[in-house]
Structure 1
């Protein structure tokens, strides 16, 4: 096989690979470091997922700080209602836990623009909105950051859009803090109001933590296998 045959195959391989990375051209050290940091955060989340049921009853404030998990924030507030720690610490731990890695997403938007947005979402509507980030009124982008924590809002896309629109990091962190404090306060308020009832549910989860964790691990391993089996079956039926 001569070079003229090898080169097109190599070019096709490079083109296919570029579809899965957010940068254009050759990756720089910054590109690699930033992508590595984002993947590291994702890996930490996957490792902590099966441990959440064990920490929910014993260390809910720590869990809220480490993961920013809404369930942990609500559980910690419920424990605060029965005298297990101050409520302000729950709100602080939850807010920090929710926003501590958001600057990475902002930086990714500033570094890669549309490339990282295409990786974050397949929604054409979200992509079109994000692609207009530089032309939007700055107040619209700021408002989007404040409401980014609401259910249904593509949070990562909004943060990347803010970076792409060249929002200052200091302003982004301030708006992000407002957003996370509002959401944390809402969840903590609900947990504090429920009090002992919520604590009883948490303790029930703690009692069956091993079963819950093993179930989560089993589902994490089984879902990709089921999807692969279904694709093979669908492909076989299509050929037949």
Structure 2
């Protein structure tokens, strides 16, 4: 390992001292700090905004929904639409892969900029350790090994994998963007192929189910919004109890 590589690795792993525990940087933020910080929040806001739209699009344009959300239900219905000739299969696959990967670089960049600070924040605890952190192998004081993080990035589409933590950890340990995207692409292709292929095999019944959901989109959307609000309230109360 060259001296330059060692210096870069040390810079990436270094945790900058913080002025405020809810911000991942110390001192005056740079333009890149602000860009990345607002990008992270926009990603979360975008994901929340998609909740009420899912029932409207699932039975009318599941390919677009797959590109917007990267969810397995939309991929499945998109595959079913491809089976009956309503959408090209290649487009359904590409939409699913894009939907999974479109915002992952934001969290990789956050890990690159702020190291363990952003990882701990994403895990649900201020970087200064004033509140207990979730017991995750990706949310410790030191980064996990590269092979663990690389595996987490590859299997990130799986529901139980904390995607933001995996992506930020990749930036934390200095994983280059091409390597990060290559590993992420492998997992995205496998996950999209699985559910799009499932929908293609099911065909018309999956199309009819999606259309039925869209027919009742108003009520499904209201349920999603109310459910999301209640979930946020419960999470806020749990966080308050942990701080007490």
TM-score, normalising length: structure 2: 0.79
> CA contact under 8 A between 2:157 and 2:187: conserved in structure 1?
yes
Go from structure 1 to structure 2 and tell me whether the alpha carbon gap of 1:105 and 1:223 turns closer, same or farther (over 3 Å shift): closer
> CA contact under 8 A between 1:130 and 1:161: conserved in structure 2?
no
Match of 1:165 in 2: 173
What number of residue pairs does the alignment pair up? Answer: 216
CA distance in 2, matches of 1:145, 1:229: 30
Go from structure 1 to structure 2 and tell me whether the alpha carbon gap of 1:226 and 1:164 turns closer, same or farther (over 3 Å shift): closer
**Unaligned regions of 5+ residues in structure 1, if any?**
1-14, 235-240
Counting only pairs closer than 5 Å after superposition, residues 139-218 of structure 1 correspond to structure 2 as 139-218=147-226
Q: Deviations over 1:106-132 (max 9, x none)?
A: 101111111111121142233456823
Match of 2:143 in 1: 132
> CA contact under 8 A between 2:143 and 2:172: conserved in structure 1?
no
- Structure having the higher helix fraction is 1
CA distance in 2, matches of 1:110, 1:228: 28
Match of 2:54 in 1: 52
State the superposition RMSD in angstroms: 2.7
Match of 1:27 in 2: 29
Offset of 1:222 from its aligned partner?
4.5
Match of 1:110 in 2: 112
Go from structure 1 to structure 2 and tell me whether the alpha carbon gap of 1:48 and 1:230 turns closer, same or farther (over 3 Å shift): closer
CA distance in 2, matches of 1:171, 1:18: 33
Partner SS state of residue 124, structure 1: coil
16-25 or 153-162, which deviates more: 16-25
76-85 or 222-231, which deviates more: 222-231
Partner SS state of residue 148, structure 1: coil
CA distance in 2, matches of 1:225, 1:64: 28
TM-score, normalising length: structure 1: 0.80
Structure 1 runs of 4+ aligned residues shifted over 6 Å read 226-232
